[in-house]
Amino acid sequence: MLKKLLFASAMVIFATALQAQTIIWEENFEGGTTLPAGWIQQTAATDGGWKVGTAAALSSSSFPIPNNASGNILATNDDGCNCNKMNDIVILPMFDLSAYADTSLYLTYDIFFGKLCYQGITEGLDAYASEDNGATWTTLKPLKGRPSWIKPSGFDVSDYAGKDSILLALRYSDGGGWLYGAAVDNFKLVIPDNTLKASLNGVALRRYIDAIPTYFEYSTFWTGGEMFITGSVNNPGFQTITSFDLLINDGGFNTDTVNFTGLNIPFDEGHELAIPYTVKQGANDLSITLVNINGGSDNDPADNDGEASVTGVTPVTGRKVVLEEATGTWCQWCPRGAVMLDYMAESYPETVIPIAVHNGDPMKVTAYDTPFSQLIGGSYPKVAVDRVHIGDPLEFEDFYIDRMTDEPTIVINQNVDYDESTRKITVTSYVKFLEEMNGDFGIAVVYTENDVTGTTSTYGQVNAYSGGCNGEMGGYENLPATVPAASMVYNHVARNIVGTFTGNASAVPDENPAESIISFESSYTHPVSFDVTEMHAVTLFIDKASGDIVNAEQTAIPNLFVGTNDPNEIVSVSMFPNPVQDAATIKMHLKESSDVQMRIMDAYGKVSIERNYSNISGEQRLPFQVGNLASGAYLLSVTAKGQTVTKPFVIVR
């Protein structure tokens, strides 16, 4: 059996023992291993449908029924037979309820039913009633799925009080698929007590990610960010809950009251909570108390409290965070990585550097894939965040927040030059040490490309989210089990890594004083098939001892033309000699007569010299005096008619 038991959540269900109720009828299946007298079943299943036996005897590998501390139970198991359980109906003995006119009546039972999904089909279990000996049936309730035995569950059958021949039935359906099953025990027909019971369960502070969409619990989040107080208010009693208040105390200072009215929460049902909460700086320790239930108190306040906490933080400046995603078109859960990487890149465009490192597919870059696969332990999907944190794609943001609270020790700037005729990309990476840093460091330059498509079948993405059984995943739930190549577009694809996975060691001296700047030039000639307008160059500065990415920078290629005007306004800009000792000549060629601004900036964009020229055209040679500028890396920036060209150069004395 390949199926796995998948339970969406492990919400704790509290069900207190019923007290003071009157039992009219009950059945515990302890009288033998056949259906008790008066019970009827209808089935097309080859295994006989609903059967009486021990939990162990009625279990199978993917439908293991937990022991419910009883001898026999009643169960139907589609997993074990893989047979037709479209209509597995079991009918309880006929009830004469004529003596109970105007009396509240409930049918209760213990139940183990997951309402699971497999291969796009969800199993169902519904309750029915008939007043005409089974000629016609009324649907009473679709029973919900939960991950463990619920003792008891049930529903209101007061509509049939006073009537003399009532049939109640459960219908299991496999929906035509190969599903799991359902188990029940300890049926009771009761006159309920009138005790008001309520409980507050599973309280947590969660972040809603609409790309998936799901709530996730975070221990740390942005100050001022929106989270939600989640959990549920459940009703383990027979008196319907119609209103309640939640008192939300933020650590002893302020208490907010949130009112809930107009509710209808019957026995064994709950109300899901999602109360917006704006995170404050530092510790947010919330106490939540359920009060004023139906305008008063319930029987037991002990289960009416919950706690949730998160720490509010603010991001540092100067840090970029590298998100490397281990992925492959063969990997059925990897759509999760792609969805989360896009989500992060869109959420934090200024600070996230996304890189999808492909494995075992046509986008694989061996020099990147082999060491990265080793780093993540060879299981997919996986992610690394600055290679400091390794985990599931769902942990991207959590890891990112941690990195963004760590003050950078270096900052990186880079200049990217592109020669269209040769397709050669030259990157000059400038690293400025904010503190003294001595050790073994390396620089690697990664090239990524967006909007990558392919036509061969190996560009098709295997997709475990197809059919929706495994929840929503950014739309992948609506796509086929293998999304064909023609429908796939891959983003952030790593195309090349220059300087090895851990970086070129000779690029960085062993000793680097505070405020010193180094530069490292590397180049890469991309294949004709790559679309350079969708490419980025990424400089990684790596601590070779720990393997961590210390900081990084990303620039689009080509970045020569920043303005919005005709990109051919400035035909060329160059400076010679480079490096410059005392004086140099800046040569530029302008297509038309225009005003020109020339600026000399340090590697971090600080302008040292600015000159403006009116109405110049054609080929120009402008003298440049170094003056009192310090040795180091600089950028020459020339702007004409909104178009800017930058060139790196170095002053050496």
Please give the residue ranges that form the binding site for Ca ion (CB under 5 A): 28-29, 70, 72, 78, 85, 174, 185, 198-199, 298, 300, 303-304
- Map 120-140 to HEC letters: CEECEEEEEEECCCCCCCEEE
Nearer to Ca ion, 92 or 517 (CB): 92
Residue 241 per-residue DSSP state = B
Work out the angle at residue 503's Cα, subtended by the Cα atoms of residues 499 and 509, and round it to the nearest 5 degrees. Answer: 110
Spatial strand order of the sheet with 410-419 comes to 410-419, 424-433, 517-525
Which of residues 303 and 440 has its CB atom nearest to Ca ion in the complex? 303
Beta-sheet pairing, 352-358 with 321-327: parallel
Residue 585 main-chain phi, psi, to 5 deg: -120, 130
Q: Which is nearer to Ca ion, 244 or 433 (CB)?
A: 244
Least distance to Ca ion from the beta carbon of 160, Å? Answer: 25
- Longest C-alpha distance within the chain, in Å? 110
State in angstroms the smallest separation of the CB of 324 from Ca ion.
42
Measured distance CA(436)–CA(515) in Å, rounded: 8
Nearest approach, Cβ of 71 to Ca ion (angstroms)? Answer: 6
**Cβ nearer to Ca ion, comparing 196 with 313:** 196
Of 305 and 440, the one with the shorter C-beta distance to Ca ion is: 305
CA–CA dist 72, 54 (Å, integer): 4
Least distance to Ca ion, CB of residue 150, Å? 15
Residue closer to Ca ion by CB (options 250, 303) is 303
Q: Which of 293, 261, 281, 369 is nearest to 325 (CA)?
A: 369
How far apart are CB 228 and Ca ion at their closest, in Å?
23
**Given the complex with Ca ion, which of 66 and 642 has the nearer CB atom?**
66
Beta carbon nearer to Ca ion, 185 or 395: 185
Among residues 203, 405, 205, 201, the alpha carbon closest in space to that of 309 is found at: 205
Q: Which residue is nearest to Ca ion (CB)?
A: 70
Whether cis (ω within 30° of 0) applies to the bond prior to 147 is: no
Nearest approach in angstroms of CB 184 to Ca ion is: 9
Provide, rounded to whole angstroms, the least separation between the CB of residue 309 and Ca ion. 22
Long-range pairs, 256-260, Cβ under 8 A, ≥24: 260/233
Helix or strand (DSSP H, E) at 369? helix 366-375
Minimum Å distance from CB 124 to Ca ion?
A: 12
Instruction: In angstroms, give the least distance from the CB of 76 to Ca ion.
Output: 10
Phi and psi angles of residue 513, each rounded to the nearest 5 degrees, phi first: -65, 160
Rounded least distance, CB 187 to Ca ion, Å: 10
Report the candidate in 311, 257, 307, 273 with the shortest Cα–Cα distance to residue 287.
307
Q: Tell me if 600 sits within 8 A of 622, measured CB to CB.
A: no
Task: Convert 254-278 to b/e letters by CB count within 10 Å (16 or more is b).
Answer: eeeeeebeeeebbbbbbbebebebe
CA angle 529, 533, 534 (to 5 degrees): 80
Question: For Ca ion, which is the closer residue by CB, 173 or 415?
Answer: 173
- Give the residue with the Cβ less far from Ca ion, 29 or 95: 29
Which of residues 245 and 303 has its CB atom nearest to Ca ion in the complex? 303
Give me the phi and psi of 7, to 5 degrees please.
-110, 125
End-to-end CA distance of the chain: 74
Closest contact distance (angstroms) between CB of 128 and Ca ion is 20
Compare residues 201 and 405 and give the one whose CB is closer to Ca ion: 201
Q: How far apart are CA 627 and CA 427, in angstroms?
A: 27
Retrieve residue 246's tokens: 């939640």
Nearest to 650 by CA among 514, 505, 512, 517: 517
Q: Omega into 266 within 30° of 0, i.e. cis?
A: no
Q: Are 542 and 384 in contact (CB under 8 A)?
A: no
Q: How far is the CB of 97 from Ca ion (least distance, A)?
A: 24
Q: Please, which residue, 72 or 108, has the CB nearer to Ca ion?
A: 72
> Which of 62, 59, 41, 63 lies closest to 50, judged by CA?
41
Least Å distance, CB 231 to Ca ion, is: 14
Min dist. Cβ of residue 299 to Ca ion (A): 7
Closest CA to 193 of 92, 98, 108, 79: 108
**Lookup: tokens for 538:** 């990424």
Please say which residue, 33 or 98, places its beta carbon nearer to Ca ion: 33
